[in-house]
Amino acid sequence: MDRELVVLIVEDETPKITQIELFLRSLCIPMKIDHAKSVNSALDRLDEGTPDLLLLDMSLPTMDIDIVGGEAGGRPQGSGGIEVLRNMGYANISCPVIVITGYEAFPRQGGNVDLSGIAKELKEEFPTLLRSVLHYNSTYETWKDELRVAFKELEFKGGRGI
């Protein structure tokens, strides 16, 4: 590999960020990991440069909420991740996206939609961006196995793969 893999983790919960980053480091792949904790900060990071991989939570506040003296970022929205994906489409930003969510279902009018239903919807709406939708649960290792498989399936710019 000629250069470090650039990974952007978009997640508002610090313990989850820590667990994901520890897992990524355990892969022993040279990588630069950046973070964003809200829809707005994710879009700012993407404007600064396109990562090789985006790990995206579905439930995100509009603005960062833990900046000292900053404004309240609002409650996390179940659709914050979708907002990031849509803005990527509007701005023609293209990089592989893996959604990592702690939710097993999402509320919709008429009832909940389970994770497989959300994955299907996202793959239909974002076929060139979305690579995988994973369920994160800190109690189990399943998400790590699924993320490892997703990493192996990815091919990056310049013919690089993992």
Domain residue spans in the chain?
5-155
Whole-prediction pTM: 0.85
Q: Distances from the Cα of 102 to the Cαs of 67, 94, 134, 139, in angstroms?
A: 23, 25, 9, 11
pLDDT at site 77: 59
pLDDT at site 160: 43
pLDDT at site 38: 92
Angle at 142 between CA 141 and CA 144, to 5 degrees: 70
- 5-155 is a CATH 2.60.40.10 domain: no
Q: Looking at the predicted structure, is the pLDDT value of residue 36 above 80?
A: yes
The highest-confidence range among 22-36, 53-67, 93-107, by mean pLDDT, is 22-36
pLDDT at site 33: 96
Q: Looking at the predicted structure, is the pLDDT value of residue 127 above 90?
A: yes
pLDDT at site 117: 82
Band (pLDDT 50/70/90 cuts) for residue 52 is very high
Q: What is the dihedral of CA 24, 30, 36, 40, to 10 degrees?
A: -130
Q: What is the pLDDT of residues 102-123, one digit of tens each?
A: 877 666 777 777 778 888 988 9
Band (pLDDT 50/70/90 cuts) for residue 159 is very low
Band (pLDDT 50/70/90 cuts) for residue 2 is low
Portion of the chain with pLDDT greater than 90, in percent = 51
Helix (H) or strand (E) holding 134: strand 130-135
